[in-house]
Amino acid sequence: MADQPYIKLRDGNSMPQLGLGVWQASDDDARNAALKALEVGYRHIDTAAIYKNEAAIGAALQETAVPRDEIFITTKLWNDDQLQAEKALETSLNKLQLETVDLYLMHWPCPEKGNYVESWKQMIALQQQGRVKSIGVCNFNNDHLKHLIDETGVTPVINQIELHPMLQQRELHAWNAMHHIQTESWSPLAQGGEGVFDQPIIRHLAKKYDKTPAQIVIRWHLDSGLVVIPKSVTPSRIEENFAVFDFRLEKPELSEIATLDKGHRLGPDPKTFNG
């Protein structure tokens, strides 16, 4: 199996392009999934305060034989804590049993609340203090990003957004790239692959490469230059999702998958979500 790729961020730090997501995973499931993932070879785990499983990830980090400096940990600032980022980070660090996290993300802009610029300023300060290595955002549209950058002069290293074959967000992905912001995909398999795995092109490619539909979709994210964090708590699928480094999709195949885009959003719309 080929070595997993790393992505260099605009601040000079690097992160594994493929990681494990633990959204909606219970404590036991998140801990076991993280341990299995690290055993398989993953070196990137993505959690969040609102997932309520940071302590489980912290427990896994204490149990694994993989050294801390080889593991990239992301967690996120929840919307209710936008004006108290330092306190929220301290809570997350205590649960994770860490002194620093590799990437701290603002979870949503919540535009009607009007706090995201001030929250970003607080996150900048946390990075300057060395409490987090890199800072970024989730679910920001280009107008949110532009406002953030214009007001602070500091550009997020990453924008984690809902992105899968049915919602490819090519315009936002291009805007991010133009401003040297890495795009990261959440719900990359469209939450279980419904409406994706049964597409003829996905089934054809799975047969051609002797891979599963999920592996084809993960490879599509990688070949599109995206950071991708498929979630699974099933050991066999965790292993399967990582076995994607021994092939690449061809450009015409990527173009065929591009035709699947229907603008079909599964999660909230960042324009209107203020939860």
Catalytic residues: 51
H or E segment at 44? strand 44-46
63: which residues sit within 8 A by CB, 6+ positions away? 31, 35
Q: Strands 44-46, 132-138: parallel, antiparallel or unpaired by DSSP?
A: unpaired
CB 48 within 8 A of CB 77: no
Look-up of token digits 């708590």:
233
Q: Strands 14-16, 6-8: parallel, antiparallel or unpaired by DSSP?
A: antiparallel
Residue 7's SS3 state is strand
Residue spans of alpha helices (H) in 129-267: 142-152, 170-178, 190-193, 200-209, 213-223, 235-242, 251-258
Put residue 139 in one of left, alpha, beta given phi > 0 → left and psi -120 to 50 → alpha: left
Put residue 249 in one of left, alpha, beta given phi > 0 → left and psi -120 to 50 → alpha: beta
Q: How far is Cα 130 from Cα 2, in angstroms, rounded to an integer?
A: 33
Q: Could you count the other beta carbons within 10 Å of the beta carbon of residue 155?
A: 16
Q: To 10 degrees, what angle do helices 116-128 and 142-152 make?
A: 60
